[in-house]
Amino acid sequence: MTFLDSLSPTDRATVQSYFQPVSFPKDACIMEVGEPGNGCYFIDSGEVRLELTSTETDSDSVLGYLKPGDFLGEFSLCDGQPRSASAFAESAVSARWFSTEDFNSLCAAHPATGLAISRALAGSLSGKMREMNRRLSEYIFADEIDAATDSLIARASNAQRDFAHWPEDKVDALIGDVAQAFADQAAEFAQATVDETKMGNTADKTAKNRFSALEVARSLQGKSAGGLLTSEAAQGRVDTFAAPAGVVLGLIPVTNPVATIVFKTLVCLKARNALVLSVHRSAQNVGARSAELIQTCLRKHGAPSDLVLPIKARSSRRTTAMFMKHPGVALILATGGPSMVKAAYSSGTPAIGVGAGNAPCWIAPDADTAKAAAQVVGSKSFDCGVICGSENNLVVDTSVRAAFIAALETNGAAVLAPDEKRRFCAHVFDPADGHLRKEIIGRPAAETAAACGIKRAFPIRLVVIPAVREELAGPLAAEKLAPMISLFTVSGDDEAISVCRAILTKCGKGHTAALHTASEERAHRFAREIEASRLLVNAGAAQGCIGFGTGLTPSFTLGCGFHGGNSTSDNVTFSHLVNYQRLAWGV
């Protein structure tokens, strides 16, 4: 029963005469945080999603959902203050708009009806405040876990116990089939991901999906991950055994959902763990399809299908928190926004998390500028720049700047003139907080450039934004998950290293840094003075950081070490997901 149903026929007719019918397609923004509060909506059909403002692409900012019969925006109707949250059409929505001006006119002309509406608004506000208090009490005072969460973890735990002692050859055969199944459907999953997330491009996601399947599986085959690993007798005999962690909770980002699901599945299965998948809300369909394919492979090999389970409940911060705190979860493998990683570390459950990327890329005086430019453009434009380890900031020695810029343009980079820079930055960065606008993330460079009136005689693959030292404190020196990159000019090695350190101090400390040079001595100095876990020399960072074209362990979870507030600086693999037990014999 809605408030309209509680009114007399006369009052109902009066109210409806002031309502203005409106409709919104799925995913439309109905109202935005900070907008003037000049009225409210009464929802007739569809569902509305409420979100807080978040600058993090991979963190869940959903507050809750409204259904037919609910008011939307009545806080501002009552107090006249700006909107405190954004609202999006979760499905197609039909509603009726009730402006503040019309509300005041109705109250003046029909006081009794105005009083009835005021009571209905007060009831709506009271109900929302009570719900808010209930949720707050759950976060502060209780670790309440619902029955559905308990059931899913119990299923995963039972499956893991049945799988814990599988022999290595059977595990490797299973891993190989899972990898091949995803490799065979890499293009289909890539297209589905682009369609659902509106990020990246199909060709690059196909390559990424194949790499996460075949190369990760290849790195695991033949390795020992269970039972007796070694027996050493240097000073006294020590036998080392590997035992599974148990149930792993895998947080899956919207930027690389399928590749991350495949990677986490393969390393968890290699370590004889079960995996519960918490997929970002904007990639849940492709996440569910991925889980179904994995479960088909599990059944084919006689393994429990509950070894890999997606969380089917609609994602929210509360849902994720329940799984993080569940005593049946042994480890959280967190790939996502900084706030989600922080929540994982704060949950009380052991966690391996990763930090933000913001790789500086130093083009030294002895760099092969043609090769470096080709690698930078190929890397930062790959999948529209959504790999967190890709180059975000060029640090170019003045002695090679002209040659390097010419090489960038040869490879499809648009290096902006001052007027173009002003237009471009005004379009892509939010003036309120300086962060990259969400609608720009993972979109093609040509699309964003065209929106700013930036044209070239060649197809634009990457936008390069010249910057000065004073802009190190601003958005140009921050992480940009899009095919755009800043360019700082320096003179000499000391200044180059100083700028690289300043970039990582702002964002991305401990993650990745790149250098193009012919000098091993310069590379070693770079390693000594730059606080990054992956230091790539003469390689594209987007591919190199995950182990493609470098000797690094193939991985889609990249630790940032103590510099980045993480528990490991490694490219995470199966060996991070086992307990090492040591049987020590008396001498």
Alpha-carbon distance of 361 to 412, in angstroms, equals: 18
Counting other chains too, the contacts that 120-128 makes at CB distance below 8 Å and 24 or more residues apart are 120/3, 120/6, 120/71, 121/40, 121/71, 121/74, 121/77, 121/78, 123/3, 124/3, 124/70, 124/71, 124/74, 125/74, 125/75, 125/78
Strand blocks (E) in 190-260: 227-232, 238-244, 247-252
List, as one string, the DSSP characters of 322-360.
HHHH-TT--EEEE-S-HHHHHHHHHSSS-EEE-----EE
Residue 411's closest CA among 452, 377, 363, 451? 377
Nearby residues of 399 by Cβ (< 8 Å), 6 or more positions away: 365
Q: From edge to edge, which strands make up the β-sheet containing 274-279?
A: 308-310, 274-279, 247-252, 331-334, 351-353
The pair of three-digit structure tokens given for residue 484, joined into one six-digit string: 């755009």
CB 190 within 8 A of CB 373: no
Which residues belong to the active site? 388
